[in-house]
């Protein structure tokens, strides 16, 4: 029988690992205890990226094959040596989020089922002014890895031209991250605007390779996702383990390593013991002013006029399904393919839009198809959705009964705020 707990001595504290033999990665048999030991082994590097920052908890309590859920607020039952910081979201609600400072706190969080370290772009000492600009290079389906690397090198070139040191890392999935530390004196809106200007400059230099187009169906090549700089966003920091069968890691790299890097090379097994490529990142803060001046040269998109309803897509889109799990969504797509055998071969990889959407505390899935490569006369009409999952159904039911938990309630004085967590 698997042991129920194991107590580890870490950073001068006792950290209890519950269900240490629970398998988190079925393909390799790696357990929760393996995950904790990995993070202890790479604690210096992991804390260089995640330390001192409020973080949301993305918990895989049943391993990578189970459904993960998000938890913004720190658990009420926690050791007194777990630090928190108060964040206020655009909705007006607040949350006490965990802040990591040492390896013991890191191990405690991993024991909750956190594979990844999802941190905000601010330090706990000043939660209103980001100290990090983040760009996610997100390739559309079918884009080769070499193209992602080429765009990353252009991203470095642009950042350095505008006075910022660029720090690269693999995402641990198909994409790539480029970060820059900045002085914490600009608002979230200003940082996002600077990131948008940066993204548009990169896309302008290599228009065949990259895009800054906001709407997913209009993208090509590698999308420079500047919205990672929005106030309520978190991203997986360096050394984070991703939910893949190989237990890939989001790996900080030197720029000399980038041209020949392969994301598959960086796993829980291979990363411990590597030199920390981001040593010195804390001393590399720069000014955002040059990028803000660049952003001012780009014309802002006009906002939608009030009363016009939902945005009208510029591409011929149809929606297939909305589901609670990816498995359900992909099954519905297979059923659609079977109903339209003559249409499916005309679609390109990038025409199949599989969106993972964040609900109140979980991820749900939507599938849309872009029929731009299908002759207009042959385009299937929009059909009833195979499934129409509502991620807010539970919230609506509780609202109707007057049972909304206090943490979901918007403060009365902020009731006109149109934002959301």
Contacts of 282 (CB under 8 A, 6+ apart): 48, 181
pLDDT: which is higher, 93 or 28: 28
User: Six-digit token pair at 99?
Assistant: 């802040």
Q: How confident is the model at residue 407 (pLDDT cuts 50, 70, 90)?
A: low
pTM: 0.80
Enter the tokens of residue 134.
Answer: 């983040």
| pLDDT reported for residue 89 | 77
Q: How confident is the model at residue 405 (pLDDT cuts 50, 70, 90)?
A: low
What is the share, in percent, of the chain residues with pLDDT greater than 70?
Answer: 91
Residue 88, pLDDT score: 87
What pLDDT is attached to residue 360? 63
Could you tell me the sign of the dihedral formed by the alpha carbons of 393, 394, 397, 398, in that order? negative
pLDDT at 1: 42
| Higher-confidence position of 227 and 411 | 227
Q: What is the pLDDT of residue 25?
A: 96
Quick one: average pLDDT of 45-57?
96
Burial class (CB in 10 A: 0-12, 13-18, 19+), 11: middle
pLDDT tens for each residue of 80-133: 999 999 998 777 788 999 999 999 999 999 999 999 999 999 999 999 999 999
pLDDT at 276 exceeding the cut of 80 = yes
Mean pLDDT calculated for residue range 189-203: 96
- Average confidence (pLDDT) over 54-78: 92
Arithmetic mean of pLDDT, 242-259:
96
Average pLDDT, the chain: 89
Which residue's entry shows tokens 């194991």? 6
| b/e per residue 128-153 (b: at least 16 CB within 10 A) | ebbbbbbbbbbbbeebebebbbbbbe
Determine the Cα–Cα distance for residues 210 and 418; give it in Å rounded to an integer: 32
Tokens of 389: 């999952």
Grade residue 215 by pLDDT with cuts at 50, 70 and 90: confident
DSSP conformation class of 409:
S
- What is the mean pLDDT of the segment spanning 405-410? 52
Interval 4-9 mean pLDDT: 94
Distance, CA of 127 to CA of 292 (rounded, Å)? 21
Check residue 300 and give its pLDDT. Answer: 67
Residue 365's beta-bridge partner residues?
323, 356
pLDDT for 217: 83
Weakest-pLDDT range from 193-197, 228-232, 262-266, 305-309? 305-309
List pLDDT tens digits, range 298-334.
Answer: 876 544 444 445 667 788 888 999 998 889 999 999 9
Which range (112-116, 208-212, 299-303, 348-352) has the least confidence?
A: 299-303
pLDDT at 311: 63
Q: What span, in angstroms and rounded, lies between the C-alpha atoms of 4 and 17?
A: 8
In this predicted model, which residue has the larger pLDDT, 119 or 410?
119
Assess whether pLDDT exceeds 70 at residue 406. no
Across 32-36, 70-74, 135-139, 352-356, least confident range: 352-356
| N-terminal to C-terminal alpha carbon distance within the chain | 42
């Amino acid at each position: 029988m698997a042991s129920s707990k194991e107590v580890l001595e870490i950073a001068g504290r006792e950290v209890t690992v519950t269900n240490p033999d629970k398998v988190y990665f079925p393909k390799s048999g790696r357990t929760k205890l393996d995950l904790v030991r990995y993070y202890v082994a790479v604690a210096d590097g992991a804390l260089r990226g995640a330390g001192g920052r409020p973080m949301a908890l993305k918990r895989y309590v049943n391993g990578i094959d189970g459904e993960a859920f998000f938890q913004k607020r720190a658990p009420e039952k926690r050791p007194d040596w777990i630090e928190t910081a108060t964040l206020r979201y655009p909705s007006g609600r607040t949350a006490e989020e965990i802040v990591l400072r040492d390896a013991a706190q890191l191990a405690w969080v991993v024991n909750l089922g956190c594979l990844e370290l999802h941190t905000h772009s601010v330090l706990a000492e000043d939660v209103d002014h980001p100290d990090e600009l983040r760009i996610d290079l997100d390739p559309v389906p079918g884009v080769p890895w070499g193209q992602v690397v080429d765009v990353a090198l252009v991203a470095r070139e642009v950042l350095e031209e505008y006075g910022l040191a660029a720090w690269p890392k693999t995402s641990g999935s198909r994409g790539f991250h480029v970060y820059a530390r900045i002085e914490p004196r600009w608002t979230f809106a200003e940082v996002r605007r600077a990131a948008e200007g940066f993204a548009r400059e990169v896309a302008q230099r290599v228009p065949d390779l990259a895009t800054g187009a906001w709407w997913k169906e209009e993208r090509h090549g590698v999308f420079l996702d500047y919205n990672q700089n929005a106030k309520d966003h978190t991203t997986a920091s360096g050394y984070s383990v991703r939910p893949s069968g190989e237990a890939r890691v989001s790996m900080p790299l030197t720029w000399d390593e980038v041209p020949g890097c392969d994301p598959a090379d960086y796993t829980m097994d291979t990363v411990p013991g590597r030199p920390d490529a981001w040593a010195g990142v804390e001393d590399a803060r720069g000014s955002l002013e040059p990028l803000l001046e660049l952003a001012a040269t780009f014309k802002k998109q006009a906002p939608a006029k009030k009363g016009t309803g939902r945005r009208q897509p510029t591409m011929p889109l149809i929606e297939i399904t909305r589901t609670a799990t990816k498995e359900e969504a992909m099954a519905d797509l297979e059923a659609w393919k079977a109903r339209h055998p003559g249409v499916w071969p005309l679609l390109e990889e990038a025409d199949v839009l599989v969106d993972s959407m964040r609900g109140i505390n979980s991820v749900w899935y939507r599938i849309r198809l872009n029929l731009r490569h299908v002759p207009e006369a042959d385009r299937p009409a929009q059909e009833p959705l195979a499934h129409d999952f509502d991620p807010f159904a539970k919230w609506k039911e509780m609202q109707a009964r007057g049972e909304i938990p206090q943490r979901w309630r918007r403060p009365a004085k902020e009731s006109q705020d149109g934002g959301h967590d």
